[in-house]
Amino acid sequence: MTGSKGTPDFPNGGSGGTQGTPERTAWVLEACARVLRPVVRLALAFGLKHAHFEAILRELLIDEARRLWKAKGTEPNISQLSVTTGLNRKVVTAKVREAEESLPHTETSAAAKTLTLWLQMATDDPALRSLPLVADEDRPSFEAVARHASRGNVHHRTILDELVRLKMVSEQAGRVELDAAGFVPAKDLKTMLAFLGDNARDHLLAGVANTLGTAPPLLERSVFAAGITAADCERVHQLVRTRWSAMHHELTRELTRAYEAADTGASGRIRIGVYTYYEDAEDVAQATPASPTTPPARSDEQA
């Protein structure tokens, strides 16, 4: 670690601020640009401006700089945070409290946990797609599923109201019916944004952790191709959807077992995902300002 007004050491020979080589800085900036392009697309679609990004970037720079210093066993002072982030002391000092988050954290969603557990039960026994709202303790019911999934921390009526609002279940004559094949709240913007943020965050955290090499590598793989037809892209997309359904059920079973076996104070968390994205590269090129590109590969795999 450098002196009290420097920056913490970075892994893999990297360094903070402008201490890295110009070539390495260019690489990192290009990677950041690729990551941020879809974020900017989302932001512009909802009317966000430069000032919004500037404010959130300041917050994140300070938070992550503090995390870097703490990882080295030091509680940073204003000068250290200022030098590490490149922000002046006045800006750093102005961040005196944690901003209140307006999006829910999806991993704590009682509604998502309840629906996932119910879907797992219904996969094993399709008759369970319809449950009585309440029943005797020895019979399956929505109340019992919700109580089990939330560990009794959220009332089953609250969970049911949320799932009905999201149009994932329906209630009639004392029974509750499954109307969804997964917790995908497409008609609720706030929840969709929460899933977008959490899923993309953890995917990127895995990639960043692997790039920095500070811990054993996490699974983060993809297979890709260019120069194929849009019809084949969609065909493979549907193949992935089908295969994911089977894996989703297996993973849910394993995570449920782990959740049930864990002590109430267990703090580990895991997120496992899969994604598919495809587009017509020619159409994108016509709509995007020219930039350096590399020749497309017919097929390759990233580990």
Write out the chain's pLDDT in tens, 303 residues. Answer: 333 444 555 444 444 444 568 899 999 999 999 999 999 999 999 999 999 999 999 999 999 999 999 999 999 999 999 999 999 998 898 875 556 678 888 888 899 999 989 998 998 899 999 999 998 767 889 999 999 888 888 999 999 999 999 889 999 989 999 988 788 887 888 889 999 999 999 999 999 999 999 889 999 999 999 999 999 999 999 999 999 988 998 998 898 889 889 888 899 999 999 999 999 877 777 776 655 444 444 444 544
CB 151 within 8 A of CB 102: no
| Helix pair angle (50-71, 78-85), 10° resolution | 120
Q: Which of 283, 290, 256 is nearest to 270 (CA)?
A: 256
Confidence at residue 4, expressed as pLDDT on a 0 to 100 scale: 41
CB 114 within 8 A of CB 145: yes
User: SS in 3 state form for the chain?
Assistant: CCCCCCCCCCHHHCCCCCCCCHHHHHHHHHHHHHHHHHHHHHHHHCCCCHHHHHHHHHHHHHHHHHHHHHHCCCCCCHHHHHHHHCCCHHHHHHCCCCCCCCCCCHHHCHHHHHHHHHHHHHHHCHHHHEEECCCCCCCCCHHHHHHHHHCCCCCHHHHHHHHHHCCCEEEECCEEEECCCCCCCCCCHHHHHHHHHHHHHHHHHHHHHHHHCCCCCCCCCEEECCCCCHHHHHHHHHHHHHHHHHHHHHHHHHHHHHHHHCCCCCCCCCCCCCCCCCCCHHHHHHHCCCCCCCCCCCCEEEC
Confidence at residue 297, expressed as pLDDT on a 0 to 100 scale: 45
Kindly list the strands in the beta sheet with 130-132, ordered across the sheet, starting from the edge strand earlier in the chain: 130-132, 175-178, 169-172
Confidence at residue 32, expressed as pLDDT on a 0 to 100 scale: 94
Confidence at residue 114, expressed as pLDDT on a 0 to 100 scale: 93
CB 39 within 8 A of CB 45: no
Q: Which residues contact 134 (CB under 8 A, 6 or more apart)?
A: 141, 142, 143, 174
The Cα 216–Cα 264 span in angstroms is 27
Q: Which of 120, 115, 107 is nearest to 248 (CA)?
A: 120
Confidence at residue 178, expressed as pLDDT on a 0 to 100 scale: 92
Confidence at residue 94, expressed as pLDDT on a 0 to 100 scale: 85
